[in-house]
Amino acid sequence: MAFNSRWSRLAAFCAALALAVALAPAADAQLAKPKRKAAAQEPVPGQQYSPEFRKQASKVQPLVNDKKWFEVLAALPALEALPDKTPDDERAIATWRLQASQGSGDKDLFAAAVENFLAKGYADASQLSAMHQSLAAYYNNKQEREKALHHYQQFVDATPDVEPDELETLGKLYRQSKRFPEAATWFTKAIDLASSKGEKPKEELFQLRDHCLVETKDRDGRIANLEGLIALYPKKDYYTNLVALLASASQEDRVVMLNAYRLAVTDPQGGLATVGGYLGYADLALVAGSPGEAARALQHGMNDKVVPGVGTNQQMLQEAKAAVASDQKTLAAEAAAAARSPKGDVSVKVGLGNYSAGNFEKAAELVRQGIAKGGVTRLDDANLLLGASLMELGRSEEAKAAFEAAAGAAKDPNMARLARLWMARAARETAAPAGG
């Protein structure tokens, strides 16, 4: 875990605090010019020091000016023992202790001085951020996790210009403490802040949030997290997890699952990480009347060295290819019949047959025809098929419009999510340089 320890920044604050200690013999001008005589200084209006404290402090101030920190520390107990100290007396002692302990190099002593300064309420708003972050770093190094977490939370709360990495650190501290809901919240804030700055959120943030959501058994949260992750970092492992979660969330809805598999396997940066994933896609595609998808899924898995290209897998591949060849013989007649039918679903079904066979131009034409006729039962599914066909043709701009229509028509949130992921893929491919 990266901690941005700011002991040096806090040292600058200590110097600034010293300038705020204005005693009769130790006014701002004297602290700025330590070689001038104390007696030449006048009290600063508004500060109230007790007479005894003024007397004793005049002996300590030169030690501060000369940076004789150990002597300053040795002199402070006598000041603290003075009776009837004013609030300004107390603040001056706390400030000198802070400055001297920092100058001594004793981090334990310095941390105690910072804690005391904060507890007494002496720090102003501009000092809180560095003080709390320094204490968080100190306690983290001491393996005192709860104290580190407490002060880092205070640091974040006191820092108006907090950075995504700092929110990530806070999330990690909550995660270390097994406070997973809070950790997930701060990882989310880190992601959102990076995005708002026009930055690409780190992949690790999504991974960390996923772990927290696993611990809290938040399936829907994991699906949403994977949506964001895959949109930016498409990988087969992430797609595999998404497909598994969608299977649970949709209760194995065939339309949802076919579209999920299709998205994963056709993404050039995606795929599936398990044999079961590819075989599941092939089985579902065969049942849906898209043997070409089954063949392509199996071949993809074999090419990726995920699916063994032997035995029943090879037999299934050959059977799927044979079914495609058989379908090819009737597709032209089916397309003509679909054109004459007033039912939009008929054209969409034949469009799926052409998508299966790899006739993507014809598939897009027929699906568009069916949508135009109206009465399509699953308009979200039809538009996703149209977009997928156009993506195969390299027409990602047109595909985005189809995916937007699918998202708008989706009554199932899982289908809307898949439509958004298709849109993200289309945007990536539209932005990719030629040949890249």
Chain position carrying tokens 């899924």:
297
Query: Among candidates 267, 272, 266, 269, which has minimal Cα distance to 242?
Result: 272
By the 8 A CB rule, do 21 and 31 touch?
yes
Q: What is the pLDDT of residue 10?
A: 53
Query: Among candidates 74, 12, 389, 424, which has minimal Cα distance to 226?
Result: 424
Which two tokens mark 17? Answer: 């605090």
Q: Helices (DSSP H) in 250-378: which residue ranges? A: 254-266, 275-287, 291-303, 311-340, 344-357, 360-373
Query: Among candidates 274, 254, 214, which has minimal Cα distance to 414?
Result: 254
By the 8 A CB rule, do 60 and 92 touch?
no
By the 8 A CB rule, do 387 and 421 touch?
no
Residues in a beta bridge with 23: 26
Return the DSSP state at 23: B
Where exactly does CATH 1.25.40 map onto the chain? 218-431
Which two tokens mark 354? Answer: 């052409």
d(CA 370, CA 367) in angstroms, rounded, equals 5
Q: For residue 281, what are the CA distances in angstroms to 46, 61, 252, 351? A: 79, 79, 12, 19
Return the DSSP state at 235: -
By the 8 A CB rule, do 127 and 153 touch?
no
d(CA 210, CA 218) in angstroms, rounded, equals 9
Q: What is the pLDDT of residue 24?
A: 32
Q: For residue 126, what are the CA distances in angstroms to 16, 34, 61, 76? A: 11, 25, 25, 26
Q: What is the mean pLDDT, run by run of 10 residues, along the chain of 436 residues?
A: 53 47 32 29 61 93 95 96 94 95 95 96 93 95 96 96 97 97 98 97 98 98 97 97 97 97 97 97 96 97 95 96 96 96 96 98 98 96 98 96 98 96 94 56
Chain position carrying tokens 């006598």:
78
Residue type, 353: G
d(CA 141, CA 210) in angstroms, rounded, equals 27
Q: What is the pLDDT of residue 262?
A: 98
Return the DSSP state at 190: H
Which two tokens mark 436? Answer: 């890249």
Which residues are within 8 A (CB) of 181 and not within 5 positions of it... i.e. 6 or more apart? 212, 216
Other Cβ atoms within 10 Å of 341 Cβ, number: 16
CATH number belonging to the domain at 218-431, selected among 3.30.70, 1.10.3470, 1.25.40, 3.40.30? 1.25.40
Q: In a 3-state reduction of DSSP, which class is residue 397?
A: helix
Model confidence, pTM = 0.84
Q: In a 3-state reduction of DSSP, which class is residue 26?
A: strand
Chain position carrying tokens 């029943």:
312
Give 434: exposed, middle or buried? Use CB within 10 Å, 0-12, 13-18, 19+. Answer: exposed
By the 8 A CB rule, do 370 and 376 touch?
yes
Q: What is the pLDDT of residue 432?
A: 66
Chain position carrying tokens 């992949």:
203
Q: Which residues of 219-229 are buried (b: 16+ CB within 10 A; e: fewer)?
A: eebbbbbbbbb
Q: What is the pLDDT of residue 19?
A: 39
